[in-house]
Amino acid sequence: MSTTYIFQDAETDNDVMLRALAGMYDPFSEQRLRGAGISPDARCLVIAVGGSSIAGTIAGLAPRGEVIATDVDLRACQRDPRVDLREHNVVTDPLPGTFDLIHVRLLLGHLPQRLDILRKLVDALNPHGILAVEEFEPTWRTSVLAAPDPDEADRLFGAYHDAFQVALQDAGNRSKWSRRVHGALLDLGMTECDTVGHTGTWAGGSHGCLLPWGTAGAIRQKLIDAGMSAADIDAFRHLLLLPELRVKSNLALSTIARRPR
C-alpha cells in the first residue's frame, strides 16, 4: 500500500477535476462559512486550495483581515490580489502562524497523517477561532436519476465507485473519515461542532459529471488495477458527457467547530 496523495502523479484531467470540485462545492462552502460568522478582521488560512475560489470568498468576508491560501501544487490555483498564495505541504511544513479561521476541503481523508494534521490545525487556531473541515461521505454514492439506459448507467457508476474505493484505500484514504471528523474535533476540545451534508442534481457535462470524468481519466490505470475494465472506463466517461444524463451527486459533509475562548 502506498500512502501518498492519490492524484499527485496525474497531470492529465487533474485541472478538470479541480475545476469541477470548485464548481460543485464552492457555493456550499461559502454558505457554511457565511453562517459561521467570520469577523471582518479575521486572519484566515485555506489549506490545499486547489482550483477553488473559496480563498477569495473568505477575503470578501474578512475585508480588514488577511487570507493565506496554500497548496503543494499551485498550478491550478486561482490568483486573487487579496489572497497570499503560498506553496506549502501541510504534512511536512509548519503552519504560517495562528488564525481565526482555517478551512480545509477534500484533503485530510487522503492523508494517513490526518489526525496529527487535525491537531496541528486546532493548535494553530486563536481562541474562539473556527475550523472548517469538508470531506466526501462515500456511503451515499452518486445516484443515476435519468439516462438513455438507466440500468447500464447504474452498472457503470457501480463499477467506478467500487474500483475508486479500492484505489483510494490502496493510497491510504480512510473511507469513514468524513464521519469521524466531528468526534475527532470534540476529542481535541473543540466546541459548537456542527456537521451538515450537501448533494445536488447534475446533468451530463456539468461540474457534477466532470468530476468523475476527470477523476477516471486522472487515475485510469489505478481503476484498472482495482478491477474496472478499460472498456467500462471509456463507456463511463462517454456517459458522463451525455446531456440526457442526470445524477444526484455523492454526499459531502461539512464540519465546523470553534476553539474555546
Ligand X SMILES: C[S@@+](CC[C@H](N)C(=O)[O-])C[C@H]1O[C@@H](n2cnc3c(N)ncnc32)[C@H](O)[C@@H]1O
Torsion region of 172: left, alpha or beta (phi above 0 gives left; psi -120 to 50 gives alpha):
left
**Which residues are within 8 A (CB) of 27 and not within 5 positions of it... i.e. 6 or more apart?**
none
Identify which of 204, 211, 208, 210 has the alpha carbon closest to the alpha carbon of residue 241: 204
Site for ligand X in 40-99 (CB under 6 A): 48-50, 52, 71-73, 89-91
Is 134 within 8 Å of 178 (Cβ atoms)?
A: no
The residue to which cell 465507485 is assigned: 161
Closest residue to ligand X, judged by C-beta, is 50
DSSP 8-state code for residue 48: S
- Amino acid 25 reads Y
CB of 18 to ligand X, least distance (A): 6
Q: How far is the CB of 154 from ligand X (least distance, A)?
A: 25
- The answer to the question of residue 168 lying near ligand X (CB under 6 A) is no
Binding of ligand X by 171 (CB under 6 A): no
Neighbour tally for 120: CB within 10 Å: 15
Among 13, 16, 21, 109, binds ligand X (CB under 6 A): 21
Cβ 261 to ligand X shortest distance, Å: 29
**Considering the rule CB under 6 A, would residue 107 count as an interface residue with ligand X?**
yes
Least CB distance to ligand X at residue 256 (A): 15
Size of the site for ligand X (CB under 6 A): 18
Minimum gap (Å) between residue 107 Cβ and ligand X: 4
- Contact footprint for ligand X (CB under 6 A): 5, 18, 21-22, 25, 48-50, 52, 71-73, 89-91, 105-107
